[in-house]
Amino acid sequence: MHSKAMGKVVEVILKYSASEQDAKEIISALSEVDWKSMFTGVVTCEACGYFYDICKKPSTWICPRCDPNKQREREKLQYILSREPKTETTLTLEVWIRILDRFDWKCAYCLDRQYVQLDHFMPLFLKGLTTFNNCVPSCRTCNLRKHNNAPDQVKLLPREDMERVHEFLKNLQIGA
């Protein structure tokens, strides 16, 4: 923290605190807070140091890669399945983790940004299902660009990205 800002913080804390020592202890405690994660939704994994995006307060501060029980992915998948009408669903946690590993836990479309959402390649409202050959990891940006469009109607993502994902899903074998 810059000295000018530090002086202002001490001044404000002293207004409500008994001593300068108390103010310094408060400042010390505040300096240990991970402010970036509080305001951006990005946290650092306690196990590997990997920066990952969070959508809600996780049950642990371990990234999805390091989570031995894949609890966060299990919760996401259960939530998605609970919102669907009772239809054919062949996407299991084991298969979803294999799909995530195949894309290195990044977006299947841009292959660059971290995945944060399960995307139905053929949207649910167009009769797409939560099956292993219709679900891919997506970042927020690509998911917003794809929106609820049928794959052949997507205009805001490069055609080659859509074709690559389509080929992946078409060739995906559940036993492979």
Give pLDDT tens digits for 112-146: 998 888 999 999 889 888 899 999 999 999 999 99
Q: Considering the chain, what is the average pLDDT of its residues?
A: 80
Percent of the chain with pLDDT over 70: 74
Q: Compare 18 and 55 and report the one with higher pLDDT.
A: 18
Contact 53, 64 (CB under 8 A): no
Strand partners, 118: 137
Region 157-163: mean pLDDT is 96
pLDDT of residue 123: 93
Q: Of 37-41, 65-69, 83-87, where does mean pLDDT reach its minimum?
A: 37-41
pLDDT of amino acid 165: 96
Whether residue 17 has pLDDT greater than 90? no
SS3 call for 52: strand
Q: How confident is the model at residue 16 (pLDDT cuts 50, 70, 90)?
A: confident
pLDDT of 175 strictly over 70: no
Q: Where are the alpha helices (DSSP H) in 32-156?
A: 35-40, 71-83, 93-102, 140-146
pLDDT at 57 over 60: no
pLDDT at residue 62, as a whole number: 66
**Which helix (DSSP H) or strand (DSSP E) does residue 21 occupy?**
helix 20-31
pTM higher than 0.85 for the full model?
no
At residue 5, does pLDDT exceed 70? no
